[in-house]
Amino acid sequence: MIFYASGALAHVESDLVIDMLVRYEIDFLASFAYRRDFDIRLPKLASRLRAERKKLHMMVDSGAFTAWSSGKEVNLEQLIDECNRLQDSYNDCLDMVFVSLDRLPGRKGIKPTAKEIADGALESFQNFEKMTRLVRGPVKPVYHLGDPEWVARRYEKEVGYIGLGASRDVPYEARRRWAHEMGQRFAGHPLHGLAMTGTRMLRTVRWHSVDSASWIQTAGFGNVNWILPNGSLVAIPVSKESPHNKKYDGHLSTLSKIHRDLLIAGLEKLDVPLEKILTTMHGRGAINMLMYKRACDWAAKQSLTDERSLGVFDDA
């Protein structure tokens, strides 16, 4: 299972993040909505990859949701041109896959009409067909919870790699059940789960790949993720500024000595300076990216299950 660290490109100005991406071969997702990162930061990462003769997977998102959230639109022709430029410039060090441009129905905060949903699905499918013809690289469509049935039938017959996406407004358990149903329906197709990295979600579908930006959000809140023997990820407050630093057993500094020593020893093995972890978001983010990757690697080796007792990290 490939884990794509969403948003990692925005942080490659940090040597810690670049080092973790390259050293542990962590793949990443970047968005056309933030395409300035392609010019400013991608060359730095590519230079390191070329120097070490390594290659990563990179998923390029269309930025449709970001644009829709701000009442804007993504220009399809500009997106296609940028996809081709990236493919031509970096195919020696990055295996790229491009996410097709969706037409999200309605407006943010307003429930779309049935006609808007139908029209959006048709335009999304037409965008996918056009990108498949014109982009010099693999293009992946996204089938969303609530999309018309005809879209699923077309993808079943005509598409290999398929993304599955559901709004975070939908309760976690409802998204997980839907993902399970789609995993059965699209059996035999490589599937990508958009922001579907909860403990049970990872073992609900035999994913080809998943992505998440929670690694950097957790770091921003002053926490590091740590993987438990059962594959769960737990968030442990470590920042010196964390309000949990006075709560017994609620912060690195207030854990029992044996647990604190074990965690510190584990962190030190990853070659990220402990002081950086305690004081910087990039230091914590570097750890969290790797923990997400390891959680995905662990889940890929397990049998699929519907058990509810797998872990506590089921909010992603």
Domain presence at residue 314: no
Per-residue pLDDT, 115: 86
Expressed in angstroms, the distance from the first to the final Cα of the chain is 17
Which of 187, 214, 241 terminates a domain? The answer is 214
pTM: predicted TM-score of the whole model, two decimal places? 0.91
Same domain, 134 and 236: no
Asked if 179 and 224 sit in the same domain, the reply is no
Distance CA 59, CA 56 (A): 10
Residue 24 lies in a domain: yes
Pair 208, 238 in one domain: no
- Same domain membership, residue 203 and residue 62: yes
Residues of the chain where predicted confidence (pLDDT) is lower than 50: 309-316
**Is residue 19 one of the residues assigned to a domain?**
yes
Question: Do the domain assignments include residue 99?
Answer: yes
39 & 139 share domain = yes
Q: 223 and 206, same structural domain? A: no
Report the relative pairing of strands 233-237 and 2-6 from DSSP bridges: unpaired
Domain identity same for 98 and 158: yes
Q: For the segment 234-251, what is each residue's pLDDT rounded down to a tens digit?
A: 899 999 888 887 777 789
Beta strands in 145-272 (DSSP E): 162-165, 191-194, 209-212, 223-227, 233-237
Task: Supply the pLDDT for residue 70.
Answer: 73
CATH number assigned to the domain comprising residue 202: 3.20.20
- The verdict on 191 and 292 lying in the same domain is no
Residue 246 lies in a domain: yes
Asked whether residue 36 falls in the same domain as residue 59, the answer is: yes
Q: Which of 179, 214, 249 is the last residue of a domain?
A: 214
Q: pLDDT value at position 313? A: 47
At 193-207, the pLDDT tens digits run 998 888 788 999 999
On whether both 165 and 224 belong to a single domain, the answer is no
The DSSP bridge partners found for residue 164 are: 143, 193
- Residue 43's domain comprises 2-214
Find out whether 66 and 30 touch, Cβ atoms under 8 Å: no
Alpha carbon distance 316, 314 (integer Å): 6
Please indicate, yes or no, if residue 6 is contained in any of the structural domains. Answer: yes
Q: Which of 214, 238, 266 is the last residue of a domain?
A: 214
Q: Is residue 310 part of a domain?
A: no
- Beta strand 223-227 with 233-237: parallel, antiparallel or unpaired? antiparallel
The count of structural domains within the chain is 2
| 3-class DSSP state of 192 | strand
Both 134 and 172 in one domain: the answer is: yes
Distance CA 169, CA 146 (A): 13
| Domain identity same for 158 and 260 | no
| pLDDT for residue 196 | 84
61-80 pLDDT, tens digit per residue, is: 998 878 767 778 889 999 99
d(CA 235, CA 223): 6
